[in-house]
Amino acid sequence: MNLPLRRMIRVFVLVVALIFSGIVRFAPGAMAATNLAKQPAIDVNVALGNDGGALQFFPADLEFEPGRRYNLHLSNPSSQKHYFTAKDFADGIWSQKVDAGNVEIKGAIHELELRANTKADWVFVPLRSGTYSLRCTVPGHTEAGMVGTIKVLG
């Protein structure tokens, strides 16, 4: 066999190997996402503040199980805006969508701002167990106690 042909075969084998290793690596993730998206969602309600102006999450401590699909119903019944900020938690979840008013946002979400008297539904599947902090990043609110804990049980 001449050298250029042998080299071409080697490159071809390498390309095929890369394609197959890619398939092996990506297919389970894609299949998992499809299956997770079809699971019935577990409803969880969290209020950001209340109509009395409390700077708190109700409830402040949340627990999720990895691999289950959740529909987190966020509401802000107060007369000021609040944030639902839990970036490390958000890094370890698969976000399917956020439904807010007439808009559905798909893909990774890290933080939600809810204006006064608004609602949003966040559909996700926690993937990584751990204990994460939750807070409202409106200036002064974290300091006033608008904080919480999100536990993803492992």
Residues binding Cu ion (CB under 5 A): 82, 136, 138, 141, 146
Q: How far is the CB of 154 from Cu ion (least distance, A)?
A: 29
Separation CA 124–CA 146 (nearest Å): 23
Place of tokens 């167990």: 129
Identify which of residues 85 and 96 has a Cβ nearer to Cu ion in the complex: 85
What Cα–Cα distance (Å) separates residue 37 from each residue in 31, 97, 117? 10, 10, 29
Separation CA 63–CA 2 (nearest Å): 65
Identify which of residues 72 and 136 has a Cβ nearer to Cu ion in the complex: 136
Residue nearest to Cu ion (CB): 136
Q: How far is the CB of 95 from Cu ion (least distance, A)?
A: 22
Identify which of residues 69 and 82 has a Cβ nearer to Cu ion in the complex: 82
Q: How far is the CB of 90 from Cu ion (least distance, A)?
A: 17
